[in-house]
Amino acid sequence: MTKSRVIRALALALICCLGWAGTSQAFDLGGWMVPQVGQLKYNLNYDFSYSPDRQVEGQETDMGYTSHTGRFLAPLWQNSRDELALHGRASYMSIDSSAILPGSRRAFPEDLYDLRLGATYRHKMDRGWVFGGEFTVGSPSDKPFNKFDDTSISATATLLTPLGKSKIHRWLFLLNYSNTRDFLAGIPIPGVAYAYMPDKNLSVLVGLPLASIRYKPAPKWTLSGLYIYPRTIISSAAYRPVHWVEGFVGFDWTYQRWFLSDRTDDKDRLFFYQKEAKVGFRFFLPKDLLLKLTASYAFDRLWFQGDDWDDRDQDRVDLENGYIFSAMINWRF
C-alpha cells in the first residue's frame, strides 16, 4: 500500500469517528490528508446488517433490527490543483419491537432514516499546502425532512501542510461545525493532527482529540488502532495469507444518532451506543470490488434520548447482548 493510501485510511478513521461528517461518510472525506490533488475515483458502497431479537432489559419485550446503507462519492471536476466531489448517503434501520422509551412513555420508533448530501473541495497552493472545505446537509430522523429542526448540518475547513521539506511529517489543521455530535453539538471545534510515516509499514497519527496507529510487523499482518475522545474506539488485527482474502478480528465502540419528529426538546436526539467484538473476512475481487463479511458479538448496547452523553439515563433502553451479522460491498472505479 502506498503512503498516500495509508494516509487516506488514517484520515478516514479520523473523520468518521469524530462524527464531524457523520459516521458513515468516512470514505467520502478521507482525502483530507492526502497531499496529491485530482486523483479521486468514483466510489459506490452498500452495507447490510442484521441483529436478531434480544431481550429489552426491564421490559417484557424483545428487540431486533436490520439496517441498509448506501453511499456514493462522485468526482465532479479535478486536475492537479483542484478537486470537487459530490457525496451522499441513504440509510434505513427497521426495528422490530414493542418497547417504549420509559421517560416519555412513547412507543419506540419502528423506522429510522439518515439521508445526506454534501460536497467536498480541495485546492493545492504553490507552497505545497492543501486547503479543503466540506459541507453536508441531511436529515437523520424517523420522519426525514419533516421540519427544519430535523436537519443535520456539518461544515469543515482544513489546511494540510508539510513540516519543513519533509515528506514523512505533516500537519492537518481543521475547524468543524456539526449539530449532531454527542458532545458540544452546534459549537465550532478546532482540531490539529500530526502524521508521521517513515515507511509504508508504519503510520502514526496523533492530535487533538485522537490517536491512531497502523503497523505492519510482517508482510501479511496489519495491526491498527484508533481512539477518539470521548467514546470511540476502532481496532483490528488482520492477516492476509493470499492476495484475494484477508481475515480480521477487532473491537469497536461507536454510536449513531437521529432526531425524533415528536420530541419535546428540539436539541434532543435518539442515540444508540454499542461495543462490538468482531471477526470477519475481506475478499478482494476483480474490477476493484471489495466484499466484507462480519460477525460481531455486541454488548453494552443502549438507546437514550437526550442532548448528549450526560443524558444517558433519560428515556434509556438497554438491549441484551447479542450477535450482529453484516455484509458490505464496495466498488471503486
What stretches of the chain adopt beta strand conformation (E)?
A: 43-55, 62-78, 82-97, 100-101, 106-107, 111-124, 130-141, 152-162, 169-178, 189-199, 202-208, 210-218, 221-228, 232-242, 245-258, 269-285, 289-306, 317-319, 322-332
CB 158 within 8 A of CB 173: yes
Percent of the residues in the chain that have a pLDDT greater than 70, as a whole number: 90
* Lowest mean pLDDT across 18-22, 184-188, 304-308: 18-22
Strand residue runs (E) in 79-151: 82-97, 100-101, 106-107, 111-124, 130-141
**Three-class secondary structure of residue 179 per DSSP:** coil
- What pLDDT was estimated at residue 200? 85
Please state the rounded mean pLDDT for residues 25-30.
38
User: Which residue ranges make up each domain of the chain?
Assistant: 3-332
The band of 52, judged by pLDDT with boundaries at 50, 70 and 90, is: very high
Provide the 3-class DSSP secondary structure of residue 212.
strand
Pick from 213, 206, 169, 170: which is nearest to 191 by CA? 206
Average confidence (pLDDT) over 132-148: 96
Give the pLDDT confidence of 242-270 residue by residue, as tens digits.
Answer: 999 999 999 999 999 999 999 999 999 99
Kindly report the number of other CB atoms within 10 A of residue 109's CB atom. 19
- Rounded Cα distance between 234 and 213, Å, is 11
Asked whether the predicted pLDDT for residue 111 surpasses 90, the reply is yes
Which of the four pLDDT bands, split at 50, 70 and 90, describes residue 333? very high
With 90 as the cut, is the pLDDT of residue 135 above it?
A: yes
Give the C-alpha separation, 319 to 298, whole Å: 10
**How large is the C-alpha radius of gyration of the chain?**
20
Q: C-alpha grid cell for residue 98?
A: 414493542
For residue 264, CA distances in Å to 14, 106, 267, 303 come to 33, 12, 9, 17
Average pLDDT, integer, range 71-75: 96
Least confident of 150-154, 199-203, 294-298: 199-203
Q: Does 144 have pLDDT greater than 50?
A: yes
Of 161-165, 190-194, 250-254, 307-311, which gets the smallest average pLDDT?
Answer: 161-165
Average pLDDT of the chain is 90
Q: For residue 75, count CB atoms less than 10 angstroms from its CB and return exposed for 0-12, middle for 13-18, buried for 19 or more.
A: middle
CB burial of 289-299 (b: ≥16 within 10 Å; e: otherwise) equals eeebebebebe
Pick the CATH number of 3-332 from 3.40.50, 1.10.730, 2.40.160, 2.60.40: 2.40.160
| Residue that wins the pLDDT comparison between 108 and 29 | 108
The predicted structure's pLDDT at residue 228: 81
